[in-house]
């Protein structure tokens, strides 16, 4: 799908962005002619550039030799700057929009910064395509479970981002605009796995906000798989959601502690935090279809809906992390499968 294309990744220096860029360079769905990483941090771009250039694994040599020949490029800019967005979109055929202010407490203390990045950033992409008539073939917006029935600023702004991108499918009919919504990514920057690892190295305790808390869990490569699947088979305005396991945070903590004499400490829910996450709400369930490994929510705008959507209608009331939980052993096996237990040298992406 991406063979010979020019691909833009906004927020490309983040945890998801780096794995996405690696998969793009490996040619999973065709080797792009050019991959542009767009972000506002010169330091993280420099670090990412060095990390890709200095790969020493034999099987990666060909891939990263290609990168040295300028297949991978970096562009400094902020998604809330319309001029910067317009300038970089001129160079793109396909856009993966991953730029976000994503930390829940940060957004609570700096709500307007979340508005500028998560809402204005998405509007700038749509406005630039519409006003300049850029021949962008597809835009894939990266969303979060917190956008569903949002109770915090991060979720509220991402929910509006979803609506802006979906409405953009009407304004930009020649561009296929898709959304991917998923839950907590294991070992991503700022997530619970690296926090637990730091606390274990310090001798504890492991801090848990509430014993009832549950979360959907998937790997960064799983997240990229969702995005590629949506790009391959999605229709404009759809929201793609993975079927992924969920677990109690107490079970994740216990699996990581193992036999160590480390205690856990309940600290109370942080500002804007949910006990359970929801990927499909009760209101969305009536326009959701089961496509095997994925659930697909038809657009809320009737102009964008398919007459006969593929897949079977979703028959559940909602899709929540509070149901069908992994048992404690299942949680431990999930972490072990992704090499995320402390004894396996778990690291933050």
**Bridging pattern class, strands 239-242 and 138-144:** unpaired
Signed CA dihedral, 257, 259, 265, 268: sign only: positive
| Distance in angstroms (rounded) separating the CA atoms of residues 68 and 94 | 22
313: tokens are: 């209608």
| Distance in angstroms (rounded) separating the CA atoms of residues 9 and 172 | 19
| Distance in angstroms (rounded) separating the CA atoms of residues 115 and 102 | 11
Query: CA torsion, points 181, 183, 186, 189, in degrees to nearest 10?
Result: 70
| Distance in angstroms (rounded) separating the CA atoms of residues 290 and 294 | 6
| Distance in angstroms (rounded) separating the CA atoms of residues 189 and 180 | 19
Coil, strand or helix at 93: coil
8 A C-beta contact, residue 248 and residue 213:
yes
Nearest CA to 126 out of 75, 77, 76, 160 is that of 160
8 A C-beta contact, residue 157 and residue 104:
no
DSSP structural state of residue 32: -
8 A C-beta contact, residue 90 and residue 136:
no
**5, 146, 158, 274: which one is catalytic?**
146
Q: What is the DSSP string of 287-306?
A: TEEEETTEEEEPPSSGGG--
Catalytic residue flag (residue 146):
yes
8 A C-beta contact, residue 269 and residue 210:
yes
Enzyme catalytic residues: 146
């Amino acid at each position: 799908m991406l063979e010979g294309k020019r691909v833009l990744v906004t927020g490309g220096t983040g945890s998801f962005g780096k794995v996405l860029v690696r998969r793009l360079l490996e040619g999973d769905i065709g080797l792009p002619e050019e991959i542009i990483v767009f972000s506002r941090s010169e330091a993280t771009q420099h670090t990412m550039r060095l990390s890709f250039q200095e790969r020493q694994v034999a099987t990666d040599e060909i891939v990263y030799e290609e990168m040295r020949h300028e297949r991978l490029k970096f562009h400094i800019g902020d998604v809330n700057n319309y001029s910067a967005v317009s300038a970089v979109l001129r160079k793109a055929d396909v856009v993966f929009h991953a730029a976000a202010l994503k930390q829940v407490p940060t957004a609570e203390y700096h709500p307007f910064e979340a508005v500028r990045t998560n809402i204005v950033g998405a509007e700038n992409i749509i406005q630039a395509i519409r006003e300049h008539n850029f021949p962008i073939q597809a835009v894939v917006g990266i969303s979060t479970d917190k956008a569903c029935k949002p109770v915090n600023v991060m979720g509220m702004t991402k929910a509006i981002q979803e609506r802006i991108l979906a409405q953009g499918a009407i304004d930009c009919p020649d561009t296929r605009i898709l959304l991917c919504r998923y839950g907590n990514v294991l070992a991503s920057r700022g997530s619970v796995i690296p926090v637990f690892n730091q606390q274990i190295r310090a001798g504890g305790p492991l801090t848990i906000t509430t014993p009832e808390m549950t979360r959907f869990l998937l790997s960064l490569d799983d997240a990229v798989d969702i995005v590629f699947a949506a790009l391959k088979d999605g229709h404009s305005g759809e929201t793609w959601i993975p079927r992924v396991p969920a677990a109690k945070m107490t079970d994740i903590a216990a699996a990581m502690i193992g036999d160590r004499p480390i205690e856990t400490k309940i600290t109370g829910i942080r500002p804007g935090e949910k006990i359970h996450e929801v990927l499909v709400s009760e209101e969305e369930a009536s326009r959701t279809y089961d496509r095997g490994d994925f659930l697909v929510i038809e657009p809320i705008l009737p102009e964008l809906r398919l007459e006969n959507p593929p897949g079977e209608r979703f028959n559940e009331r909602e899709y929540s992390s509070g149901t069908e939980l992994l048992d404690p052993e299942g949680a431990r096996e999930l972490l072990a499968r992704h090499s995320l237990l402390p004894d396996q040298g778990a690291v933050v992406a």
